[in-house]
């Protein structure tokens, strides 16, 4: 060992088991730069004073609301898109999360072949590419459930179908880590199944429910394929579709501004979700309590 | 009645519920998915094996399987595999692009996940947040960012020309496979990092120390212990990025838009919107589903196994 060290200091350094993994470390910083810088640059250019999305011409809020025609605030197209996105996200979250949570609780205890089949169906809907779900639903609304017209209603039905598996998976993971002991203790102490569920299990599930609501909301904001196929006309096209339609066609920084607004909405939501998560896990805090990492891990 | 109750009590670990109690919780979600997820595949079958309205050119589904008309299906298969196979190249291209993009994803994601799981220390929480950040940034925005950067007067071309690496701007956004593949990598890599991180984080460090104590060096410890133990996570990560890539058409549309790079997703997206092509779209959706059924079943069964193991 010492011979090797004497012969080559480099070899010695490589033999040290506690050597810092500098190459790996620089690799991860490069990765982070690659993953975040392009978006940061796009955000930066939403504040550009000129029309260019690659030459900096000074700071301005022109593309947000100052420009009387082309800004997000004054362009009725972009305006409608923003509200369509938020409407769909809220509607979908309100329905998909309770459906998913109830499903997770039920399927966790319901044994047998029918339960296994429904569980399989749910997992399959989780991994099915969105394009397949979107196109199949388009055929359904055109041929079978033709009373559902394309537009907000069809988009909502499609989004819930696509999103319902997320709360199921998050809540089931949480239920596995909780175990059944608390509920059984409650019932040994005389609670009925419904009471045990409401007073014991549900409060324990709040963090997971919260996390899945945040996830579903943010995922709907991000959704593109389903909302595009199931939209009726320009008035029901949400933000992601607008970005897609004009990214290669009429590029003004207003598009960047719209995307930045989407980004800010998601980030606000996470902060809100994190606050809610801290609140709903306040009984579990030891020392510093669950940090953002735990919240992220819940997702 | 009493006896049934007692038997159920014994099976459920000492707690008695009415028989309908738990099924009633799962019923609404199950029925929702039955009507809007499972039944739609029958509708697609009926459209794919149906006919086309001679006047309006819209697909007419045939609900009775006995009367299914296989003509369109045969035609599309002929266009993929036959002599005049103009749909063949997009299919091959899809496999090639997805394989390349998933492989690049793995090569980048593995070291990143490995570092965060093993060496991040106090910075672990912050790094995890940064790794998850792309989830919260809309996919379209991330692609828009690259459209901005890769344009003819975008920052990439400007830096390349100012460094005299290229004489005149490169048309990155018109039909270049490399742009599409890297776009797919950029779009889906976060989905791979998380399962890899979870898998690597679960590995018991005692096993690594044991390997070192027994004389294995770093590389050998990695190759003989860490890598085999993370095999499941690698497979799960590959499947979870490959599945949406197979159904992706918008990355291609935004970053290339040329038929030279079109994939199965583009074929489906284009035929859905074209009058008279609805039946073809249904056939292509069926073919894509059949292609993907094995990776999907693999993912479902491996998560099912993990759930059973954790619930004991």
- Domains of chain A, by residue range, sit at 14-63, 65-298
Model pLDDT, residue A12: 54
Q: Is the pLDDT of residue A294 over 60?
A: no
Q: Which long-range contacts (CB under 8 A, 24 or more apart) does B77-85 make?
A: B80/B287
Average pLDDT over residues B16-45: 88
Q: Shortest Cα distance from A24 to chain B (angstroms)?
A: 6
Q: Give pTM, 2 decimals.
A: 0.86
pLDDT classification of A53: cutoffs 50, 70, 90: confident
Choose, out of A12, A31, A116, the residue to mutate when testing the contact with B (most B CBs < 10 Å).
Answer: A31
Q: How confident is the model at residue A298 (pLDDT cuts 50, 70, 90)?
A: low
Query: What was the pLDDT predicted at A17?
Result: 59
From chain A, pick out residues whose CB is under 8 angstroms from the CB of B34: 121
Please answer yes or no on whether B296 and A128 come within 8 Å at the CB atom: yes
Nearest by CB to B36, which of A118, A135, A137? A137
Q: Residues of B numbered 177-216 whose beta carbons fall under 8 angstroms of chain A's beta carbons: which are they?
A: 186, 189-190, 212
In angstroms, the CA B298 to CA A51 distance is 49
Residues of chain A above pLDDT 90, percent: 26
Contact, A110 vs A267, CB < 8 A? no
pLDDT in tens, B49-106: 888 877 777 888 888 888 888 888 888 887 787 767 778 888 889 999 999 999 999 9
Chain A / chain B CB contacts < 8 angstroms? 290
Residue B258: is its pLDDT beyond 70?
yes
**B39/A168 CB distance under 8 A:** no
pLDDT above 70: residue A250: no
Please list the alpha-helical segments (H only) found in A237-291: 239-247, 253-280
pLDDT given at position A288: 41
Cβ <8 Å between A263 and B310: no
Q: Work out the minimum CA distance from A27 to partner chain B, whole angstroms.
A: 7
Of B27, B37, B282, the CB nearest to A125: B37
Average pLDDT for chain B: 84
Domains and CATH numbers, chain B: 90-311 (1.10.3720.10)
Which chain B residues contact residue A1 at CB under 8 A? Answer: none
User: Are A273 and A210 a contacting pair, CB within 8 Å?
Assistant: yes
Give SS3 for B52: strand
Q: Six-digit token pair at A263?
A: 């980004």
The interface pTM score, or ipTM, of the predicted complex is 0.87
**By the 8 A CB rule, do A253 and B144 touch?**
no
Q: How large is the average pLDDT for residues B257-262?
A: 86
Interface touch A129/B44, C-beta < 8 Å: no
pLDDT beyond 70 at B242: yes
Question: Can you give the pLDDT at residue A81?
Answer: 87
* Residue A195 pLDDT: 85
**A280-289, B190-199, B301-310: which has the minimum mean pLDDT?**
A280-289
Averaged pLDDT score across all residues of chain A: 82
Q: What pLDDT does residue A277 have?
A: 77
Report the residue of A131, A249, A289 to disrupt the B interface, i.e. the one with the largest count of B CBs within 10 Å. Answer: A131
B37 touches chain A (CB under 8 A): yes
Q: How many beta carbons lie within 10 A of that of residue B83, not counting itself? A: 5
CB contact under 8 A, B116 and A28: yes
Of the pLDDT bands very low, low, confident and very high (cuts 50, 70, 90), residue A121 is: very high
Q: Is B134 or A224 the better-scoring residue by pLDDT?
A: A224
The neighbour count for residue A109, using CB atoms within 10 Å, is 19
Q: Is the pLDDT at B36 greater than 90, yes or no?
A: yes
pLDDT at residue A161 tops 90: yes
The pLDDT confidence band at residue A233, using thresholds 50, 70 and 90, is confident
pLDDT at A39 over 80: yes
Residue A193 has a pLDDT of 80
Of A32, A42, A292, the CB nearest to B141: A42
Mean pLDDT confidence for A1-6: 44
With a cut of 80, say whether residue A293 has pLDDT above it: no
CATH topology of domain A65-298: MetI-like fold (1.10.3720)
Contact assignment for B132 to A32 by CB distance below 8 Å: no
Alpha carbon of A20: minimum distance to chain B alpha carbons (Å): 8
Check whether A2 has a pLDDT greater than 60. no
How far apart are the C-alpha atoms of A101 and B262, rounded to whole Å?
A: 39
């Amino acid at each position: 060992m010492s011979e090797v060290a004497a012969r080559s200091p480099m070899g010695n350094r490589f033999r040290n088991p506690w050597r810092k993994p500098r190459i790996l470390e620089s690799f991860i910083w490069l990765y982070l730069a690659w993953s975040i810088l392009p978006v940061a640059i796009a955000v930066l250019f939403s504040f550009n004073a000129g029309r260019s999305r690659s030459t900096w011409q000074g700071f301005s809020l022109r593309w947000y609301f100052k420009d009387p025609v082309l800004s997000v605030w004054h362009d009725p197209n972009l305006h409608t898109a923003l509200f369509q996105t938020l409407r769909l996200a809220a509607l979908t979250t309100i329905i998909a999360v309770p459906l998913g949570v109830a499903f997770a609780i039920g399927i966790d205890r319901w044994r047998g072949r029918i339960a296994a089949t429904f569980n399989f169906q749910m997992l399959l809907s989780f991994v099915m590419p969105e394009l397949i779900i979107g196109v199949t639903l388009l055929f359904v609304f055109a041929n079978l459930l033709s009373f559902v017209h394309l537009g907000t209603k069809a988009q909502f039905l499609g989004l819930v179908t696509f999103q319902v598996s997320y709360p199921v998976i998050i809540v089931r993971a949480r239920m596995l880590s909780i175990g059944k002991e608390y509920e059984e203790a409650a019932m040994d102490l005389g609670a009925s199944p419904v009471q045990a569920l409401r007073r014991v299990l549900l409060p324990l599930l709040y963090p997971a429910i919260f996390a899945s609501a945040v996830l579903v909301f943010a995922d709907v904001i991000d959704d593109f394929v389903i909302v595009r196929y199931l939209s009726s006309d320009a008035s029901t096209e949400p933000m992601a579709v607008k970005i897609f339609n004009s990214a290669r066609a009429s590029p003004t920084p207003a598009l960047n501004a719209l995307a930045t607004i989407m980004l800010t909405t998601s980030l606000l939501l996470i902060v809100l979700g994190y606050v809610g998560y801290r609140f709903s896990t306040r009984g579990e805090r030891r020392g510093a309590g669950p940090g953002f990492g735990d919240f992220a891990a819940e997702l | 009645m009493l006896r049934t109750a007692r038997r159920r009590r014994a099976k459920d670990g000492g707690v008695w519920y009415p028989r309908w109690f738990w099924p009633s919780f799962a019923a609404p979600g199950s029925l929702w998915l039955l009507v809007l997820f499972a039944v739609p595949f029958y509708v697609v079958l009926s459209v794919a094996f149906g006919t086309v309205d001679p006047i309006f050119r819209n697909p007419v589904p045939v609900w009775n399987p006995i009367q299914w008309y296989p003509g369109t299906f045969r035609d599309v298969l002929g266009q993929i595999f036959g002599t005049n196979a103009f749909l063949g190249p997009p299919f091959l291209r899809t496999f090639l692009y997805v394989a390349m993009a998933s492989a690049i994803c793995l090569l980048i994601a593995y070291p990143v996940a490995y570092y965060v799981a093993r060496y991040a220390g106090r910075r672990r929480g912050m790094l995890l947040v940064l790794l998850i950040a792309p989830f919260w940034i809309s996919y379209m925005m991330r692609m828009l960012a690259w459209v901005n950067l890769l344009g003819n007067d975008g920052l990439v071309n400007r830096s390349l020309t100012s460094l005299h690496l290229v004489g005149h701007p490169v048309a990155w956004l018109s039909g270049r496979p490399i742009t599409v593949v890297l776009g797919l990598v950029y779009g889906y890599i976060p989905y791979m990092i998380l399962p890899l991180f979870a898998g690597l984080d679960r590995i018991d460090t005692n096993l690594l120390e044991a390997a070192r104590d027994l004389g294995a060096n770093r590389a050998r410890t990695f190759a003989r212990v860490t890598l085999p133990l993370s095999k499941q996570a690698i497979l799960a990560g590959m499947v979870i990025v490959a599945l949406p890539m197979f159904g992706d058409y918008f990355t291609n549309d935004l970053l290339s838009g040329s038929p030279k790079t079109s994939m199965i997703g583009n074929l489906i997206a284009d035929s859905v919107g074209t009058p008279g092509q609805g039946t073809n779209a249904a056939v292509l959706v069926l073919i894509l589903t059949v292609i993907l059924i094995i990776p999907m079943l693999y993912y479902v069964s491996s998560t099912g196994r993990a759930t059973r193991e954790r619930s004991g």
